[in-house]
Structure 1
Amino acid sequence: MRRWLHDTAGGLPATFWYLWAGLLINRAGAFAMLFLSLYLTVARGASESLAGTVVGAYGLGGAAGVLLGGVLADRWGRRATLLAAHLVTTALMVALAFSRHLLLIAVLSALVGVAHSMPSPAFVAAIVDVVPEERRSRAFNLQFWAFNLGMAVASLLAGVLAEASFLALFLVDAGATLIAALVIAAKVPETLPDTRRARRAGQTDQAGRTDQAGRVRRPGLHTALTDRVFLAFVGLTFVLAVLTMQTSTIMPLAMRADGLRPSAYGAVVALGGVLIVVGQLFVPRLIDRHRKARVLAVSTALLAAGFAALAVADDLWVYLAAAVVWTVGQMLAAPPNAQINADLAPPELRARYQSVFYLAFPAASFVAPTLGGVSLQYLGERHWLIVGALGLLAAGCHLLAGPPRERRVAALRRTLATRREPALATDR
């Protein structure tokens, strides 16, 4: 057991563990947006389609947040971006707790989406900064584990709190976010690499071009936005996110239509979190010998099967059984998804690439509830069959997109290896 723990978590730097702790604390208190659709329909009297639109505003704000977070993390710094985002989120959640008008709630939800999404590229870029390449798969696996451990705790508590007080959901969320900010402020140093020496060496790769005067013209966000191989991967991640977002946007409405209480929804989400907490640390040994594209294809197919099963779900046990299937898919997808994202990013544009990658999640947060609310209202249980078909299509696309991704990663590694040689000569 001791050897397994060392193989799984050993050798990771202290900064990673403080980032991990901040993420865990934040997620353990992230109640509010998980129950936003129920809050709007139960406490504010909104229709299902209107609730979906307001929750979609949160996702729309998140789309701007990840791009802003990526640019700031590369220019301003990882630590400063994390602190600013957490503190702003704390203030916005308190304001949302005491808001009563739907228009104001929609505006605040969009702003919370901006602030909630800003830390994502900074978190991952900081992990890549401090963790050696050979240990990043373990680090990303532990990151996903912490995220879901926090979600499991949040879901169990939130299901009870939602029946007692929606106000408490928002205030506890704000408090947890503030604690996470304090951990980062006290223990996480700035990890942004110093690329000035590379610029003086006159590097001419994806991250910068030198003109005749020797000045470096560095591409910005548009470099990631025009990288076709990377964007194909982001598109498939978007589909994966749309599937995953069903649990926090559309499934609560479906369970309410089936006569199930908020505590039942909390139990379904908590089950997924418990499964991940118990089994996620074993995933790297299970998947490391397989090609990443095949792992992602299998994981996406499992997600599709789990959500398609909700077409026949009326009782809690069916929801719980389906949750087991899609949770296994999530567990398998997390490490290769994060590793591919890190492998495709040039070091000088690491946070910008992360921001474009994480754009898939707020975009899914907008699309899933906005279209899903209408789909559930007018198509009923057939909505879940459409979700399943979308997942199976994405699984096939992963198999087709795998070889070009692998060729791109190999080429980028060769380029980075040639860049290190003149840098080392300059140091000598």
Structure 2
Amino acid sequence: MHGLRRWWDDTAGGLPATFWYLWSGLLINRAGAFALLFLSLYLTAARGAPPSLAGLVVGAYGIGGAAGTLLGGVLADRWGRRATLLAAHLAAAGLMAALAFSTHLAVIAALATLVGVAHSMPSPAFVAAIVDVVPEARRSRAFNLQFWAFNLGMAVASLLAGILAEASFTALFLVDAGATLAAAAVIALKVPETLTRRPALTPRAVVGRRPGLHTALTDRTFLVFVGLTFLLAVLTMQTSTIMPLAMREDGLRPSAYGLVVALGGALIVAGQLFVPRLIEPYRKSSVLAVSTGLMALGFGALTVADGLPLYLGAAVVWTVGQMLAAPPNAQINADLAPPDLRARYQSVFYLTFPAASFVAPALGGLSLEHLGERHWLVVGALGLLAAAGHLLAGPRRERRVAALRAAAAKPVESVR
């Protein structure tokens, strides 16, 4: 019992109540965000759209997501975290309800784009609020729990989506809207505004530029980290974009692909809570190098995979890499951001994921077509490149974080 209590303290102890309400809102949001998983099927089966048009509509959702990420970052630093979260959730709920009863494909496409904006706006505000309220020493465990909640919510969403889609697409959208409203209620009732208007430091003193979104977009130390995260995201996206095609070429059925994906999700849900204690003694750059190297090894192993057991074994390796990478990746992102620009930095960071969701299938499809199984050697090489990049960039990141902390310890008048 003592060991269990110590594990719980190391995993989730010492976190403020506001964090847990944010965590609950995120979990409810993810568990209910399932309608878009079946958007392409809805368009083709219920609205008679050809697959090409369905793909364009789903792509429009992704474009809206990129815009929403930047908009959410700017608003979270100007309006506040709570106001941005509430506006985004309420807008998403209304748009999902409108989608439930829309029949014209042009209207559905426009609504899908706006839903992409509303769904992406909360991400920078959620992370910025967590950084606002969680002491620095406990942020790693907070981000680990955030990653765990996200994956647990997605697992629940996948299960519920399949059940509701078979019953009614209208119900699918309406239940999604209801879950979004429930998340908004938690935020409205329990989450205070976490943005402090008191100046903490002058970003110009650390990054050499006046504050604003362009500060993040021209911050070389931060952009190197974003670029390395982009490579990690390209690797991660292989599982949902290129791997299904490779498995089909190996003669495996869709159910085999589902089993590989389910294994990864199960490992994260079962094991993610043990990660913070495991990685705590090591430097973040070293952990990221090891984790990215494991992902490179896992995906590179698909070069020789021709049956389900090898795919499952490789999935274990790259999933462990993903699990190890999540807490330090999020914490470094938070540490590199000046306090006055936290959400803006988060929004630039989160752009890596829609970018990777475009690049991974676009270039990966060409690579698989022309290189065949050697495509996975290219993917593995990208992972090793990212691992080396973390080792090389780590010292400069640490010096930058130390400079930000020193500036925060001596507050000066902020320039806005």
Structure 1 counterpart of 2:86: 83
Deviation at 1:92, TM superposition (A): 2.9
* In 2, Cα distance between equivalents of 1:374 and 1:165: 37
Moved more, 12-21 or 31-40: 31-40
CA contact (8 A) 1:310 1:319 kept: yes
Corresponding pairs, count: 408
Structure 2 counterpart of 1:408: 400
TM-score by length of 2: 0.86
- AA partner of residue 260 (structure 1): R
* In 1, Cα distance between equivalents of 2:171 and 2:149: 23
Decide whether aligned partners of structure 1 residues 357 and 161 sit closer, same or farther in structure 2, where only a CA change above 3 A counts: same
**Pairing 1:4-403 to 2, within 5 Å after superposition:** 4-36=7-39, 46=50, 54-97=57-100, 106-159=109-162, 169-195=172-198, 204-206=202-204, 219-252=211-244, 258=251, 260-261=253-254, 265-311=257-303, 315-373=307-365, 375=367, 381-403=373-395
Decide whether aligned partners of structure 1 residues 348 and 164 sit closer, same or farther in structure 2, where only a CA change above 3 A counts: same
- Unmatched segments (≥5 aa) in structure 1: 210-216, 424-428
* In 1, Cα distance between equivalents of 2:168 and 2:369: 27
CA contact (8 A) 1:22 1:181 kept: yes
Decide whether aligned partners of structure 1 residues 367 and 166 sit closer, same or farther in structure 2, where only a CA change above 3 A counts: farther
CA contact (8 A) 1:28 1:154 kept: yes
* In 1, Cα distance between equivalents of 2:385 and 2:174: 41
- AA partner of residue 402 (structure 2): A
1:185-224: CA deviation from partner (whole Å, max 9, x where unpaired): 121111111225x6xxxx6553799xxxxxxx96211111
* In 2, Cα distance between equivalents of 1:129 and 1:298: 29
CA contact (8 A) 1:241 1:361 kept: yes
CA contact (8 A) 1:87 1:178 kept: yes
CA contact (8 A) 1:31 1:155 kept: yes
CA contact (8 A) 1:140 1:338 kept: yes
* In 2, Cα distance between equivalents of 1:413 and 1:62: 32
* In 1, Cα distance between equivalents of 2:5 and 2:186: 28
Decide whether aligned partners of structure 1 residues 60 and 384 sit closer, same or farther in structure 2, where only a CA change above 3 A counts: farther
CA contact (8 A) 1:250 1:372 kept: yes
Decide whether aligned partners of structure 1 residues 30 and 382 sit closer, same or farther in structure 2, where only a CA change above 3 A counts: farther
CA contact (8 A) 2:10 2:277 kept: no
Decide whether aligned partners of structure 1 residues 101 and 308 sit closer, same or farther in structure 2, where only a CA change above 3 A counts: farther
Deviation at 1:378, TM superposition (A): 6.4
- Unmatched segments (≥5 aa) in structure 2: none
Decide whether aligned partners of structure 1 residues 41 and 344 sit closer, same or farther in structure 2, where only a CA change above 3 A counts: same
Deviation at 1:69, TM superposition (A): 0.4
* In 2, Cα distance between equivalents of 1:32 and 1:304: 32
* In 2, Cα distance between equivalents of 1:51 and 1:250: 19
CA contact (8 A) 1:152 1:272 kept: no
TM-score by length of 1: 0.83
CA contact (8 A) 1:221 1:352 kept: yes
- AA partner of residue 140 (structure 1): F
Decide whether aligned partners of structure 1 residues 374 and 311 sit closer, same or farther in structure 2, where only a CA change above 3 A counts: same
Taking only the aligned residue pairs, the percentage that are identical comes to 80
* In 2, Cα distance between equivalents of 1:290 and 1:376: 37
Q: CA RMSD in A?
A: 3.2
CA contact (8 A) 1:25 1:180 kept: yes
* In 2, Cα distance between equivalents of 1:33 and 1:250: 20
* In 1, Cα distance between equivalents of 2:98 and 2:366: 29
* In 1, Cα distance between equivalents of 2:179 and 2:383: 34
* In 1, Cα distance between equivalents of 2:350 and 2:163: 31
Structure 1 SS opposite 2:410: helix
Deviation at 1:415, TM superposition (A): 1.7
* In 1, Cα distance between equivalents of 2:269 and 2:118: 27
Deviation at 1:16, TM superposition (A): 0.3
Deviation at 1:384, TM superposition (A): 3.9
Deviation at 1:168, TM superposition (A): 5.3
Structure 2 SS opposite 1:123: helix
